[in-house]
Each structure stands twice: as structure tokens, then as C-alpha cells.
Amino acid sequence: MVRTVCLFCCFCCFCACEKETELEIPDSHEDIVVNCLLQANKPFDVYVGKTLHELDTSELYVNNAIVCVATCSTKETDTLIYHANGHYKSTREKIWVEGETYSLSINYNNKQAVAMATVPTTVKFDNYSISNTFLGRDGFDTRTITVTFTDAAETENYYMLFLSWCSIDTLPFQGYVKNYEWYSYSPVIVSEGDEYTDLFSDVLFNGQTIYIPMNFHFWNYNRFYDLKYRVKCYLVTVEKSYYEYCKSLKFNRENQKNIWQTNAVPQIKSNIENGFGIFSGINITDSIIVIL
Amino acid sequence: MKKVFVTILAVMFCNGLYADSFWGYVRDSQTGENLIGAYIYTSNNQHLTTTSSYGFFSLKAEITDTIIASYVGYEKFILPIKNIKCPYIILMSPSASIEEVIVTTDIYDKNDFSSDYIRLPIKQIQTMPAIAGESDLLKSLQAMPGFKFVNEGQSSLVVRGGAPDQNMIMIDDVPLYYLNHLGGFVSAFNTDALNDVQAYKGNFPAKYGGRLSSVIDVRTKDGNTNQMRGKATIGILSSKFMVEGPVKKDTCSYFLSCRRFMYDLLSRPITYLFNNKMQSGYSFYDLNAKINYMPNNKNRFYLSFYSGNDKLLSKFRERKDDNITMKNISKWGNTLGSLRWNHLYGSALFSNITVYAMRYNYSSTFEYSAKTDDGVSQKSNFSSLIRDFGMKSDFSYIPNNRINLLFGTNTVFHYFNPNNYSYYQSSVDTSAHIRTDNPQKQRDSEWALYLESKITPIKFLSLYGGVRTNIYKTNSKTYNDIEPRVTFEIALPYGMVFKSNYSKMSQFVHLLTYSGTYMPADLWMPSNDIIPPESSEMISSGLYKNIPSVGIDFSIELYYKKMASLVELKEASNLNKLSDEWYESVEKNGTGEAKGIEFLIRKSEGRLNGWISYTLSKAIRTFENFNNGKAYPYTNDATHDVSIVVNCKLSEHYTASVEWNFLTGRAITLSNKRYTAVNLQIDDNGMPNLNYQTVSTYEERNSVRMKPYHRLDASISYKKHKKRSGREITVGVYNLYNRQNPTYYYVSGDNKNRSVYQRCLFPFIPYASYTWIW
């Protein structure tokens, strides 16, 4: 009897508490979804989709929308052509211009969604420094690249930092690192969420020169092969709309399975009028290459 | 007309002048603790009163009468008035018998069995089953009608459709802001330190104000005035220690209790050894201390201190030569101190003056330093600070048995710095030094004056009339408010009482929460020019019946509550940012409605005691920018709520307790639509590029109901007290039949197959604790 009770207790304590269940989810309305980030030296590429019910497994993209982009200063309009998988591209090799504002209009299924975006200005790295190799917190060889740049005081600015590295020899097993493989203990980064955050505002250093230490680890191959590495850092300036969109996107994802979450899963911010998604300018303004 | 009015007043005030006054205090004979809410009545059942929060009573009676004092769990005290010299200290002895002790008077104070007002004996809280054996005041209240939990296992309370921040929870007359530990799973109240709990979920006495939905008045122990006693408990969640005793017998005593979460003592060295010099840990503690001094029977002083804090720490030294260090410390909690002076002016006027200081602080500090060529050192701090300095004066004037006049003042000076982010950077290059600070300070003051009286013009009718005036002064705006509180009660045939009341409340501070419950990152914000105070009006009526011969009381109560100027955090808002003024993240001018009917059958005495409660309720909210302006069910709206609690004293040493709860599934917002989102990431070629992913969102708030919630808990305690020491062993099970109650739902799957999943956090959980008492 005692054994049975003990076994029952153990079973109950360790039994799976996550399971598929039946629950009625309310119907949803269809809305236009627009995703477009104006990027350096790239033509307009606009993704147009629609919202679906959570359990609907149909395709999310739309291939029969009318997509128009207009330059606000010159009133020049370009109607984009459907390419594939919901992507609409410019007929001309039109490249965006820094500081210019563009308007986007989508017509689909008797609905219209509109948005505007401005391409942010360029910011250059001032300097950088590299630490010696040390054993990082995850047990890998780690180095710190501390990048420095100066923020413009008169405006609210938003930045992204990216880092990738690869062997200077093109060995097939060494691809580029993903962005989440670098981390920073800088409070500028950590205050935005955690040490893996790549998106931050100038709120803490408005108009000042800021140091961002970026730690990255690489596999211990150089202990055996004495390889050289090429590390590339990108500085990207983004619009406030994209910053808020990304923050809410992260917040939305983090709260999907939150045990303390009793309010709604946060909505994702959008600058699309009558729709969802984002139309925003980004500017990959500078990059540095370091050989290690 | 004027003459009639004057005559009525004269009759009422002169009533009982021929009678003798009998006044004093009721205390425990062993510990000297005040017994709050004890009945004092005459043997002919003509007059009755109850003791106040300080154990004080005053009763007019004939010289030939005999006085009876009664209190649950204590032997009845009987004394002829002619032998009494006032102020008289009635010392009541705890009942040694396990047989039922029934108070046979049929003139119970009707207020005592109103379902608007609940007194939970601490012994009952300690015997109720709880997760990990950690008995919890707020979780015990969740089993009463009208009280609901926010999330399973958490101690936050939702009272009659109100939000968790609408509950005024006071410890020794000082309001607390942060009430939880361990992410809300343990409340800040160590039951070893508590003496009495009174909860009002409506019909608020005029002395209370500042919150819309409920008042929970917690009194801590004063300390044993006769002998030194102690208690030590080792539990699964925390360990506790308590000691009390006389400094000078019957004159001055002390009380000290401490509770601490112990796991960080293990986790910090373990993580340091096995995680490459990274230390991390979490801990919380509660410290209650009190000194009480009675120079004579007319004066008494209390000096109280409480500190309850949580700490989350992670420390890391990156390089072998410790050149790079990182430290992240988050701390939050309340610290308060209060000094109270009780004074008795003759037989009819009692006063309590309280002076207190309270500090609530949430602070998260992140430090990075590198002893490299750059010499970069950076530090950021996010903090939310509230400092209150307050003074209260409460007077109770009892000219005769028909009038009880309460009046007083309450003044609080608030200092808010709710959303302060600072940043500091230094380096070898002095031009790169940065110092940023954005304090959002606000100094407010709150002034209140109240007057309340209970009048019994005729035996079968009682009237409670009260008014509280509030003035809330911010930097540039002053809010004035008058809050009437009215109750009338009529004694009906067959020992039934009908009661009806109206009350109006205001709330000047607001909790902006991501989670819906008290979490450290949730911020308390004051009213200001833009955010007006929240307000509520409530009417309730009830029918009450007491059957003293078997110690059972029964009540049915209806209520309707209307709330205005409610605030919520805007969609996808992030408060912890320097860039925004906090009030830009607030959705204001919301309204709310709550209505319901509550049933309670309670047997509070005897070997077998407990209660059955049922609530049928509905609560909604409306905000202009939420849900397209349409009303939506409040998160904690549960149509049916049933609780059954049974405590049974099996023998001299064994006590068993069983609790069963049923709740209609809560209204939740589950995503009902999905779409493709984009963000910028490094692609496989090492270039920043666009990455597409599917995200979920919703259209209507709280449009989905969770599955019904129910669970059964059971515990059994063994207590053995010897002459000098004793021990107590408790074993129990939370969720005995392993009901998989959903904590949250989510939708998952790929583009071909998508399903809804549920997660249960609290399956069958056994627990045990050991307490040593000396």
C-alpha cells in the first residue's frame, strides 16, 4: 500500500503538465499585413499578407494586392509588381534616399492600408578595440570588441548592432555566427531587455560618445590549427517605428507562455493604418572588419 | 420638529446614565495579547459590545448585572459588575477542551456575521492546507466569498470584481505597497507574527480610505508579557524563527520574528563552482519586530518595525584575471516603522495616535567594468521609490450603549520617484564620460478627516452613518472628495438581520501592471494633473441569520459596484524606459462594474468547524481604446466560485483540514489571429537581412473562458506540548486528486497543423513541515 501511494505521488509530481486541449477560439476578421524595411542599396521589396484565424493553416501571403510607393517630396509613384510568396518589387531599380520620406498604399479585397517611412541618417563608428582571448562564461574562447560611436544630440536615435565572424580561410564547417551568439554586459544593451539585445535607443547617452563592448565566442579550433578569423561589425540606424515594433514583438513572444501573464498577450505595435505589420526605414550605416 | 430632534438626541445620549460604566481591556491570560473582537455582554442579554483593535471595550450596565466575556477558543469569563474596578483587564484563558465551546447569547453584534466583514482567526489560517505547507493569510482569504485569486498559487487578491491594487492591506495601521515574495507565490505576511486579521470587502468604516475594493487590517503580535516563548520552523519554502517575552513582566514586552527563503545559500556556491565563476541566487526575508510598553492602564505604546525584501543577484567575472566583471542586483520590498500611543480618557473616550514611515523600493542595478586599455566602466540603475510619512489619530467615544462615535484624522506625505533610470559611463577618454539621470519626482500629500457613528435608536434598528473627506494635493492640482458611508440594519423575526449599505471610495495611487498581479516590475504611480484618482460606489444588502445554539451563521448578500477613472497600462507599453513620462503609458478614464450574490454558511467554533461559500458574480471593464471601446469581462471575472473548508480536531494531538475550491474558468485573452512579421537579423552569409516569422495577436479582450478550476487540498497536523517545549508536524497534499488546472493556454504548431495547448503548474504536491516550540 505504502509503495503504491509513493509511486502514485511520484507519478503525479513528475507527470507532464503540458498537453493539447480543446478550447474554442473566437473567429477573427481578415486584415491586411504589410512588412517592408527600406534597406541600403536594395530596391523596394514589400511583403503583403493577411491575418488568418489561429488554427487556419492556409497561406498567409497575398498575391493580388495593388501596392504603390510614393516619394513624398517629388510625388513620384511606383506600382510594385508581384514577385513570389507575397513579395512585391519595384519595376525600376529604385534605391531609397537617406532622409527621404516614402508613403506606401496597399489595396486588397476592398480594403486599403497606408503607411509612411523615413530613411534614418548615417552614423559612423568612431573607434574600436579588441581584448585578448579569454575563457568566456560558457566555457568557450571569447574576445571582446568594444565599438565606439557618437550619437547626434538633437534627435531621438535608435540603433542596431550586428556581429558576424568566419574563418579567414573558407573552411566549410565554419559559417557566420548568428547575432544571438554575441552578448554585451553594457547597461545600454541590458536595459533594453537582456544581454543579447541588439536594438537600443540613445536614451542613456543622448548626444554622447558611447562604448559598447561586444563579447563573442568562437570554437576552439585555433588551439589546434592556429586559424585566423575575420570579424565584421555592423551599425544600423533604425526609425522609432521599427524600434517600437521590435520591442513589442519581443514582448509579445515572451508573454505567450508566461505563468504570471493574466492580461492579454501584448499587441504588436504597427505603423500601418488599417492593417498590421511595419513600414519603416533602416540604414546599415557602417561596418568594421577585424582580422583576429 | 426641532424640539423632537433635540429630545431624541437627549434621550439617546442620556440613555444609560443611570447605569454603571464597565470598561477596560480583554487580553489572553497566558501571553497578554489583546483579544480583538471579543464579546462582552450582560447575563440578561440586554447589552453587548465587542473589543476594538486594541482590545478596548466600554459597556453601560446595571450594577446588579453580571458581565460575560467570550472569545472563540477561550474559556468564558464571568464576573459580577459590583466587584469590578475600572479600567478592568479581563484575562481570558485558552480553552483546553476539544469539545465545542458555544456562546449562547442571542444578541451577537450583527456586524460580526456580515459577509461584508470577515475576521479570520490566525489559528484557522495556520491549519488550512497550503502549497508547500506555507500557511498564507491572503491565500486563506481567497477561500471566502467575494475574494478570488489572480493566478493559481499566487497570493494576490481580487475582491468583488476589483483589481489587486484596489485592496488596502495594512500591517499595524500602515499600508503596504508590495505584498508578495517569490513572484507572488508567497505573501509578505508571516503567520507566526500575526495576531488578528479583519477584512472588509464593502461597507468600509469611515476610518479607512484610499482604496476602492477592500481593506485588510492586519495586527501583529504584541509580545508575551508573562514569559519568554519561541518557535522555530523548517519548511520546504522557507524557515522561520520567532521569539517573544517580557522585558518587564506585565509592563513591557518584545516580539521578534524572521522568515527567510533559504535556497540561495545553496545556489550561490553551486553556481559559482559549476558555472564558470558566475554566482546567482534569489532570496527573500520578512522581519517583524515590536516592543509594547504599558506604563499604566490608561496608556500603552507600541513601537513596530517590519521589513520584507526580495533580492535577485547574479555576479560574473569574465576573465581569469578578473579584468571584466558584471554584477546585476535587483531588490524590492517594503520597510516600515510605526509608533502608536493608546490613551484612555475616562470610561468613554479611547484614542490611538499613530506616526509611521514607510519605504517601498524597487531597484535594479547593472554594473559592467573592464580593466582594459579603454578602462570602460558602466553602471545603470532603474528604481521605483515611494516614501510615505503619515500620522493618524483615531478616537472612539462611547457615551452609552446606543452610541459609538468614531472620529479622527489621517495625514500622509507621499514622495514618489516611480520611474527613475540613471546611467553612468567612465573611461580613460574623459570626453566619453556620461551621467544621465531622469528622476520623475512627485511630492503629494493626502489629508482625511472622518466621523462615524453607530446609533441604535430602538432595539431592532441600528444606523451607521459616516463621512470621510479627502484632500489629495499633487504638485499643481488638488483633488477633493467626500465619501459617505451609510448602513442600516433591522433585526427581523427568527433571529434574522437585514442590512443594507452604501459606500463611496477613492484611490489616489495606481498599480500599472504587466501581469495583472503584484510583480516587482509593476510600478505604483500617483494621481497627477493628467491621471485623476479612481473612484467607486457600492451598494450592498444582505440577510444574516445566526444560530448560537450550534454556533452556525448564515448570510446572503447582494452587491453592485461601479468604478470610474480606472487606469491600465497601454497596449505593448514598456514602463522601464527613460524616454517616456510614465503617464504617457497609461490608458485612463476606464470604467468598471461588478455585481454578485454571495452565500456563506460558517461554523467557526467547536471540534468540527469551517465554512461553505458560494459566489455568483460578474465584472466588466470599459476603456475607450481597448476592445474598440466595447465592454469586456474583467480578467478575474468568474461566474461561479465555491469554497468548502473543513477543520476537524481529531484528538488532543491531531487536527485535520480539508479545502475544496471550484471556480468558473477565468476570462482570458487568447490570440485568435496570426500573421507574418518581419525583423532584421544576420543571415547565413553574415549580412543583416530580413527574417520573416509568424506571430499571434487578438481582436477582443478576455473573449475566451478557461476550463473550470477545481482542486482538493488536505493536511493533518500533529501537535504535542510538554511542560517546557512542544513540537508540531504538518503533512499535507495540495491538489489531492491531481486536477490539471490550466495556468495558461497557448497556440502552437506549424503552417500545417496548429493546436491549443494548456500548461498546468500545480499538480499533486505533497509537503511537510516541522515546528519546534519552546
Check whether B161 has a pLDDT greater than 50. yes
Tell me what pLDDT residue A174 has.
47
Element (H, E) at B174: strand B174-175
Tell me what pLDDT residue B620 has.
95
Pick the range with the lowest mean pLDDT from A163-167, B37-41, B592-596: A163-167
The A residues from 110 to 149 touching B (CB cutoff 8 Å) are 129, 131, 134-139, 142, 144, 146, 148
* pLDDT over 70 percentage in chain B: 89
What is the dihedral sign for C-alpha B317, B318, B322, B327?
negative
Tell me what pLDDT residue B318 has.
59
Answer for the pair B732, B771: CB distance below 8 angstroms, yes or no: no
Pairing of strands B278-296, B299-317: antiparallel
Tell me what pLDDT residue B479 has.
95
Please calculate the CA angle B472-B340-B398 and round it to the nearest 5 degrees.
Answer: 85
| Grid-cell match 510625388, residue found | A75
Check whether B353 has a pLDDT greater than 90. yes
pTM to 2 decimals?
0.83
Angstrom distance (rounded) from CA B491 to CA B254:
44
Q: For residue B636, which residues of chain A lie inside 8 Å, CB to CB?
A: 262
What one-character DSSP code corresponds to residue B74? B
Angstrom distance (rounded) from CA A239 to CA A189:
18
Tell me what pLDDT residue B565 has.
94
Residue B71 CB burial class (10 angstroms; 0-12, 13-18, ≥19) = buried
Banded model confidence at residue A35, pLDDT cuts 50, 70, 90: very high
Mean per-residue pLDDT, B354-360: 95
Tell me what pLDDT residue A11 has.
59
Check whether B41 has a pLDDT greater than 60. yes
Q: Residue A150 contacts by C-beta under 8 Å, 6 or more apart in sequence?
A: A123, A126, A208, A209, A210
Residues B545-571 as b/e (b if ≥16 CB within 10 A, e otherwise) read bbebeebbbbbbbebebebebbbbbbb
Pick B106 or A265 by higher pLDDT: A265
Q: Which of A15, A54, A108, A212 to mutate to test the interface with B (most CBs of B within 10 A)?
A: A54
Average pLDDT over chain B reads 83
Banded model confidence at residue A170, pLDDT cuts 50, 70, 90: low
> Which one of A141-150, B46-55, B79-88 scores highest in mean pLDDT?
A141-150
Q: What is the number of alpha carbons within 13 Å of residue B20 lying toward its C-beta?
A: 17
- Structure confidence by residue, pLDDT tens digits, A64-90: 999 998 888 877 888 889 988 999 988
Which grid coordinates are listed for B423?
546611467
Q: For residue A232, which residues of chain B lie inside 8 Å, CB to CB?
A: 686
Amino acid identity for residue B758 in this structure: Q
- Judged by a CB distance cut-off of 8 A, whether residue A252 touches chain B is yes
Angstrom distance (rounded) from CA B550 to CA B653:
24
Neighbours of B581 (CB within 10 A): 12
Give B430→chain A minimum CA distance, Å: 10
Please calculate the CA angle B74-B79-B81 and round it to the nearest 5 degrees.
Answer: 140
Query: H helices of B167-258, where?
Result: none
- Structure confidence by residue, pLDDT tens digits, A182-226: 888 888 888 887 888 889 988 888 888 899 988 887 655 545 555
ipTM of the complex in this document: 0.89
Banded model confidence at residue A13, pLDDT cuts 50, 70, 90: low
Using CB atoms, pick whichever of B672, B675, B751 lies closest to residue A25.
Answer: B672
First to last CA, chain A: 67
Whether B318 and A215 lie within 8 Å, measured CB to CB:
yes
Q: For residue A263, which residues of chain B lie inside 8 Å, CB to CB?
A: 513-516, 635, 669
Using CB atoms, pick whichever of B367, B635, B678 lies closest to residue A37.
Answer: B678
- Structure confidence by residue, pLDDT tens digits, B142-156: 888 888 887 777 778
Q: Residue B606 contacts by C-beta under 8 Å, 6 or more apart in sequence?
A: B99, B100, B101, B102, B551
Banded model confidence at residue B106, pLDDT cuts 50, 70, 90: very low
Answer for the pair A77, A69: CB distance below 8 angstroms, yes or no: yes
Pick A11 or B209 by higher pLDDT: B209
Torsion region of A252: left, alpha or beta (phi above 0 gives left; psi -120 to 50 gives alpha): alpha
